[in-house]
């Protein structure tokens, strides 16, 4: 596996690039131009700037997360071709910079949903938390205010200029069914995948987070059956998956290791994190260690190993530990510990395979 680490860019991240380079086995950064609104073409000079920053520390920029899909594409509006054309131009520019994988999602309005950014765990660390009952009784605008108030960092997927249109977006989605969303996704893929293939960039859709409907919005990438349908929309190796063990693992009915084995040849990017789930639908993110959560991370890594996985992996969200002030879910310390846990599993599997 090729270990990489998410980085939000100079001036938008408390973690210096040189610190990422000090974690054993980290080869590159997962990045994006977070100041470019969804639907706009990414400027060449900004792409080159990130490339130069990363390469100055011996890191590559081969994985982008995310080139966000404009809501008009998801809604199937008459303006979608304009935004798809922009998306295609961005793909071509990223290819010129050496990008190999683009992670994206097709979640309406919210890229991810949590009710508390700093919920305290038993050991005094804090982590992202989802309280099911609170979401069921909460106005979406209240959630936006809560997230904005409690974060000192800009939050990808929660861009202020987009969320200012929240009421209008919810009105537009009232008429959008799951089947409509599937159709709009297929339209997008039929335009984009041939271009990605021509530019040798693999596209990896991220599962819905959490993997069920939130605020009545349609969600369509939630389980093994959805992923199978997705693959068939445009059956091409360049149309693939960003397999997130935490997103899918929030639903105990999802057998993540089994899903990995079934779709291994179409997983272009792996997010590995753990969550502890509760019977009432709540979940909290934990350390990567299997014993701390409900996802068997050992079995997850084993599934990748047995499948001969040789693509990109990042430790996904971690806890906030040792008094670190950091972006919610993206502390350096716990993700660094997570990387070493993942390498420990991988290295032991490698030795067992070789009979050492």
Residues 221/239, Cβ–Cβ less than 8 Å: no
Report the interhelical angle of 178-198 vs 80-96 (nearest 10°). Answer: 30
Which of 282, 316, 320, 341 is an active site residue?
316
- Catalytic residue of the set 72, 87, 209, 244: 244
Residue listed under structure tokens 């693959």: 231
The Cα 161–Cα 171 span in angstroms is 17
Residue 311, H or E segment: none
CB under 8 Å to 124, separation ≥6 — which residues? none
- Which member of 34, 70, 268, 271 is catalytic? 271
- Of the residues 34, 206, 268, 288, only one is catalytic, namely 206
Q: Is 326 a catalytic residue?
A: no
User: Exactly one of 34, 70, 317, 320 is catalytic; which is it?
Assistant: 317
Catalytic (active site) residue 83: no
Is 180 noted as a catalytic residue in this protein? no
Please confirm, yes or no, whether 317 is among the known catalytic residues: yes
Q: Active site includes 238?
A: no
Q: Which of 320, 330, 334, 341 is catalytic?
A: 330
Strand order in the sheet with 116-120: 116-120, 126-130, 283-285, 275-277
Question: For residue 66, is the peptide bond before it cis, meaning its omega torsion is within 30 degrees of 0?
Answer: yes
Whether 60 is catalytic is no
CA distance 238 to 194: 8
Question: What residues are annotated to the active site?
Answer: 206, 244, 271, 316-317, 330
């Amino acid at each position: 596996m090729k270990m990489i680490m998410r980085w939000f860019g100079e001036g938008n991240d408390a973690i210096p690039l040189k610190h990422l380079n000090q974690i054993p086995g980290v080869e590159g950064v997962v990045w994006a131009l977070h100041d470019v609104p969804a639907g706009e073409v990414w400027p060449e000079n900004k792409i080159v700037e990130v490339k130069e920053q990363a390469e100055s520390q011996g890191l590559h920029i081969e994985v982008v997360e995310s080139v966000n899909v404009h809501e008009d594409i998801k809604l199937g509006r008459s303006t979608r071709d304009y935004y798809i054309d922009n998306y295609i131009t961005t793909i071509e520019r990223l290819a010129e910079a050496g990008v190999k994988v683009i992670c994206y999602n097709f979640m309406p309005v919210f890229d991810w949903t949590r009710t508390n950014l700093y919920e305290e765990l038993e050991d005094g660390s804090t982590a992202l938390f989802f309280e099911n009952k609170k979401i069921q009784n909460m106005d979406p605008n209240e959630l936006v205010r809560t997230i904005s108030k409690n974060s000192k960092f800009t939050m990808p997927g929660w861009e202020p200029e987009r969320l200012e249109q929240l009421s209008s977006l919810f009105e537009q989605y009232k008429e959008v069914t799951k089947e409509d969303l599937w159709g709009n996704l297929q339209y997008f893929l039929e335009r984009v995948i041939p271009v990605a293939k021509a530019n040798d960039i693999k596209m990896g859709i991220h599962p819905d987070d959490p993997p069920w409907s939130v605020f009545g919005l349609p969600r369509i990438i939630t389980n093994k059956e959805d992923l199978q349908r997705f693959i068939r929309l445009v059956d091409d190796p360049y149309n693939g998956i960003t397999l997130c063990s935490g997103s899918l693992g929030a639903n105990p009915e999802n057998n993540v290791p089994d899903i990995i084995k079934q779709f291994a040849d179409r997983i272009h990017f792996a997010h590995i994190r753990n969550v502890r789930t509760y019977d009432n639908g709540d979940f909290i993110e934990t350390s990567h260690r299997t014993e701390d959560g409900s996802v068997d991370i050992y079995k997850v890594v084993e599934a990748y190993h047995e499948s001969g996985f040789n693509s990109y992996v990042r430790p996904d969200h971690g806890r906030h530990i040792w008094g670190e002030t950091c972006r919610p879910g993206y502390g350096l310390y716990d993700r660094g510990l997570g990387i070493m846990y993942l390498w420990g599993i991988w290295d032991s599997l490698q030795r067992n395979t070789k009979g050492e």
